[in-house]
Amino acid sequence: MVEGSGARSRGAGDDDAGAWAERLGWAHGLIAGDPVERSAALLHLSEARGRADDARDRANEMWRLTHSLGAEEQYREPALLGAFDAYHRTQWHVFPDALWNRPRRTAIADWPGLPYALLFLEWEARFPREWTQHAKAWGTKQGLIRDVATIARDETVRSRLVDLTEIVVRRPYRCKDREYVRVARAVDGDDLRDRLHAACDSDEPWARCHAGFVLWLLDRPGVPATRHVWRSWLATSPAA
């Protein structure tokens, strides 16, 4: 049976950049400053999600209809295989599903889906309510942050990650935000530290605390960014 959040899109991970743009070019509207453009992108996403959900339901129904064949025969049944394939193809056009299919042997830096992975993270950072309503996937967020942190010194990626780190530091904590410490350590430099020091002077207490904690961790690369470390730091920090 196909599960909505657990299913993995297959077959599009090694497409070229043009194929990704054809399927997901509309997604750039999700981070647009223009509310009209963003609304149009959200509508596109909702419609694509509806098609994917319908295809998943059809695949599940076919799974139920063929269950009596037994596992070996069932998974050779053309009708079931066709329903699964149709579902996976709809996933290629929707967030977050399209980001689940990077081939294991393809490095994140070489993956044509990388621009859309960064877009997905930027969407969550800039418009968290819309992201949560339309494409909430904490595990996907965590995995992508860890992946992009490994290539953060790439200049085509670094500037966006510095921006993302600042945005996340300046907002109230959200699930998996702690993973951005990996990114901060990977892109550490004067430009990032200047932004963090500026956040330490913010009127918002969470910005002061988050920025101070990240700066403290940058000076202690061996200290993990765990809840225990955060609470211990918070108990003694003048920023709290």
The model carries a pTM of 0.91
pLDDT digit string (tens) for 24-71? 999 999 999 999 999 999 999 999 999 999 999 999 999 999 999 998
Q: What is the pLDDT of residues 179-189, one digit of tens each?
A: 999 999 999 99
Are 100 and 159 in the same domain?
Answer: no
Classify residue 142: in a domain, yes or no: no
Residue 141 is assigned to a structural domain of this protein? no
On whether both 1 and 104 belong to a single domain, the answer is yes
Largest CA distance in the chain: 67
Q: What is the mean pLDDT of the chain?
A: 93
Cα–Cα distances in angstroms (integers) from residue 61 to residues 24, 82, 147, in the given order: 28, 12, 36
If one counts the domains in the chain, the total is 2
What pLDDT sits at residue 5? 45
Q: Let me know if residue 129 belongs to a domain.
A: no
Domain that holds residue 177: 152-240
Tokens of 79: 């009708």
Residue 158 lies in a domain: yes
Does residue 190 register a pLDDT over 90?
A: yes
Confidence label for 6 from pLDDT (cuts 50, 70 and 90)? very low
Q: Is residue 126 part of a domain?
A: no
Helices 190-200 and 205-218: angle between axes, nearest 10 degrees: 140
Query: What pLDDT, in 10s, does the model give residues 98-130?
Result: 999 888 888 999 999 999 999 999 999 999 999
Q: Are residues 90 and 170 in the same domain?
A: no
